[in-house]
Chain A
Amino acid sequence: NAGVTQTPKFQVLKTGQSMTLQCAQDMNHEYMSWYRQDPGMGLRLIHYSVGAGITDQGEVPNGYNVSRSTTEDFPLRLLSAAPSQTSVYFCASSYSGQISNYGYTFGSGTRLTVV
C-alpha cells in the first residue's frame, strides 16, 4: 500500500521552462489537492479535485494547471516557471466524506527550484 506517491522528489528548472509534477494515490480517494509550502507562509492550496473530471482553484492557482482524468492521478503543470514558484509542493488526498474524520494523507513532497 504505497499511499500518495509524488515524483520527482527534487527538480531544478530554468525560468520559462515547463514541467509536470506527478501525484498518484492507490487508496481510491475521491478528493485530491496540491499545496505549496514556503518558509513563513505555511501550506497554501493551489488546486483541488473532488473526483475524476472535476477540478477547482484554491488560494494560489496562478501559473499552475491541473487535470483529473482518473481517480488515481492528479498531475500539476507549471506552464512557464518563475523564481516565485520555488517551493516545496505537496499532494494530498482523502475520501471526500471522511475529510473531517481523518484529514488528508500527504505525499512526501517535491522540492522545486527555479533559477
Chain B
Amino acid sequence: EDQVTQSPEALRLQEGESSSLNCSYTVSGLRGLFWYRQDPGKGPEFLFTLYSAGEEKEKERLKATLTKKESFLHITAPKPEDSATYLCAVRSNQAGTALIFGKGTTLSVSS
C-alpha cells in the first residue's frame, strides 16, 4: 500500500532561520512526488514535481530534493509570508491517476 509520512507536524522558525521539512514515502513505482503549499481557508497550490532520485528544484526560498525513500523541502532564510501548511503527495503505478497525500507540515515563521 502506498504511504506518505511528513515530519514534523508543526515547525516554528524565526525569520531568517533556515530549516527542512521531510516527506518519507513507500510506493509501488514512483511516477512523481509533489509539493503543495496550503494557506488557511484555501486550496492547495502546486509548488514542485520531482521524478527521480537526485533531482532538485528551486523556487525563491524553497528547494525540493528527492532520494529513493524521501524528499526534503529546504526553506532558506524564511520570511513570515512563508507561513503555511506544506503538503507532500505521490503518484504511483498502483494509484493510477490518484495522488496520495501526507498529513502536512504547518510552518510558522515569526519576525
Q: How many A-B residue pairs have CB under 8 A?
A: 62
Q: Does A48 contact B (CB under 8 A)?
A: yes
In the complex the two chains form, is B87's CB within 8 Å of A99's CB? Answer: no
CB distance from B84 to the nearest CB of A (A): 14
Residue from the set B43, B87, B102, B103 with the largest chain A CB neighbour count within 10 Å: B43
Interface-lining segment among A68-76, A77-85, A104-112: A104-112
Count B interface residues, CB 8 Å: 23
In the complex the two chains form, is B49's CB within 8 Å of A104's CB? Answer: no
9 intermolecular pairs with C-beta atoms under 8 Å apart: A48-B97, A100-B49, A102-B46, A103-B32, A103-B36, A103-B46, A103-B89, A103-B99, A109-B42
Residues of B within 8 A of A (CB): 4, 31-32, 34, 36, 41-46, 49, 51, 87, 89, 91, 97-99, 101-104
Residues of A within 8 A of B (CB): 4, 31, 33, 35, 40-45, 48, 50, 58, 90, 92, 96, 99-109
